[in-house]
Amino acid sequence: MAASVGTTPGGTTPAGMTPAGTTPESEKDTEFQEHEGILCPDFLSVAQITEMLAEDIDGVQQKLEKFLNFRNLQTCLKEASLLDYYVSGFLWARGMDFSVIQYSKFMTLLDMLLHNLKTLHMSIEDSIKWLREVMAEIGPSHSQKNEEWNIFDVKQANAIVDYLKVSLFQHYKLYEFLFFSAREEIVIGTETKINEKLQIQEEAFNARTEKLKKA
Long-range Cβ contacts of 159-162 (<8 Å, 24+ apart): 159/96, 160/106, 160/109, 160/135, 161/131, 161/135
Q: Does residue 55 surpass a pLDDT of 60? A: yes
C-alpha to C-alpha distance for 199 and 193, rounded to whole angstroms: 10
Interior angle at CA 140, CA 159 and CA 154, nearest 5: 35
| Domain identity same for 110 and 27 | no
Q: Collapsing DSSP states into helix, strand and coil, what is residue 47?
A: helix
pLDDT at 44: 95
| Domain identity same for 104 and 162 | yes
* Cβ atoms 178, 78 nearer than 8 A: yes
Give the chain's radius of gyration (CA, Å).
20
How much of the chain, in percent, has pLDDT values that exceed 70? 62
| Domain identity same for 127 and 97 | yes
Supply the range of the domain harboring residue 19: 1-37
* Total number of domains in the chain: 2
| Domain identity same for 146 and 80 | yes
Residues 16-47: pLDDT tens digits? Answer: 444 455 554 544 444 434 445 567 789 999 99
Q: Collapsing DSSP states into helix, strand and coil, what is residue 12?
A: strand
3-state helix, strand, coil split of the chain in percent (to 5) is 70, 0, 30
| Domain identity same for 118 and 17 | no
C-alpha to C-alpha distance for 213 and 211, rounded to whole angstroms: 5
| Domain identity same for 121 and 24 | no
Q: Collapsing DSSP states into helix, strand and coil, what is residue 91?
A: helix
| Domain identity same for 73 and 14 | no
| Domain identity same for 127 and 85 | yes
| Domain identity same for 117 and 191 | yes
Question: Which sign does the torsion angle of CA 151, 118, 184, 200 carry?
Answer: negative
More confident call, 104 vs 30: 104
| Domain identity same for 66 and 122 | yes
Nearest Cα neighbor of 91 from 121, 125, 148, 53 is: 53
pLDDT at 193: 55
| Domain identity same for 80 and 158 | yes
Q: What is the pTM of this model?
A: 0.68
For the ranges 47-56, 93-102, 151-160, 194-203, which has the lowest average pLDDT?
194-203
| Domain identity same for 29 and 51 | no
More confident call, 154 vs 22: 154
C-alpha to C-alpha distance for 142 and 154, rounded to whole angstroms: 11
